[in-house]
Amino acid sequence: MALPYRWQWRIEKWKNALRGFFGVTEQQPRPKICPACGALVGINATRCHECGANLRFSLAALSKSLSGIFGEYESPVTTALLVANVLMLGVSWLAFAATGSGGGLTILWGLVGEPQYRLGASYGPAIFYGNEWWRLVTAMFLHGGLIHIGFNMMALMQFGPALEELYGSARYLFFYVITGACGFLASAFTGHFSVGASGAILGLVGLMLAITTKRGGAFMRELRSRLITSVAILFVMGFSGFMAMDNFAHGGGLAVGFALGKLFVDRQPMNSRERQIAYALGWLAGIAVIASFVLMFLHYSDPTPFGH
């Protein structure tokens, strides 16, 4: 059975992105576009004549190649985050199944315990006394079950694409990681054992709230009112004990997101310097995520507070 046209188009884009990443091309040489400033450069140029960016290797060029794998114009970072969260839910379930505790309805909301600790859950004593700071990052990719990840990923797909388009993929990734990490830092101070992407997602909400304070008009006022109402309901539910919510992670992510929204201009980078800073922030966040998962893997078999 033939694939639908949209999937044929997407697979062809992935192939072209991978060919470009490894320097393989089947097309005739033609002028190139500088990924850093967008200037048209010569066929044989190795460096942009406008901004000086290296066309063979630079953060901008590499970012452009990698983003094409997930769809250059289809929120590549949001898609990658969605995939990473779903994959880690599968890894969590396998870890619980290996201990004999992954059966029944555990997959719905019962993935909390020692396996999640080993996979990098946020836990104050381990972070502050064990210096396991990488947990502030790994925890945002772990969830307590299908219900937990379902709510968070729906929220991510609601807010993520618009903010990624507004700020650019690189800065958006930085915002997501730093707000999520700061949310778990606030949670860790209270000694919580916590997992989930909601701290980072509340960081995105904080960004949107900041945007609505900088832009006028009835639509922005209405959007701000709806966001504030939703956040208030979320915190009331958390403090009421109706659901197991980490209000400290939510509050930390929300506050940092709002501050970043006030600090950064709400638009795409406009010149080569802004683009270079944005790519540097994005790569800093990406490297932090990769390094955190490497450290989690290296410490996976360490003794735990659970007595095993």
Non-local CB neighbours of 260 within 8 Å, separated by 6+ positions: 175, 178, 179, 203, 206, 207, 210
Beta strands in 47-137 (DSSP E): 122-123
Strands (DSSP E) contained in the chain are 32-33, 40-41, 122-123, 193-194
Catalytic annotation present for 198: yes
Cα dihedral: 187, 191, 192, 194 (round 10): 70
Q: What does the alpha-carbon distance between residue 276 and residue 62 come to, in Å, rounded to a whole number? A: 12
Token pair belonging to 225: 């009112």
Q: What's 149-168 look like in SS3?
A: HHHHHHHHHHHHHHHHHHHC
Residue 236 Cα to chain centre, angstroms:
26
CA dihedral 238, 305, 144, 291 (to 10 degrees): 110
Is 65 annotated in the active site? no
User: What CA–CA distances, in Å, run from 165 to 36, 68, 114?
Assistant: 17, 15, 38
CA–CA separation, 84 and 11 (whole Å): 19
Catalytic residue among 143, 148, 192, 250: 250
Query: What token pair was written down for 157?
Result: 């797909």
Indicate which residue of 67, 75, 169, 198 is catalytic: 198
**What gap in Å lies between CA 77 and CA 71, rounded to an integer?**
9
Give catalytic residue positions.
198, 250
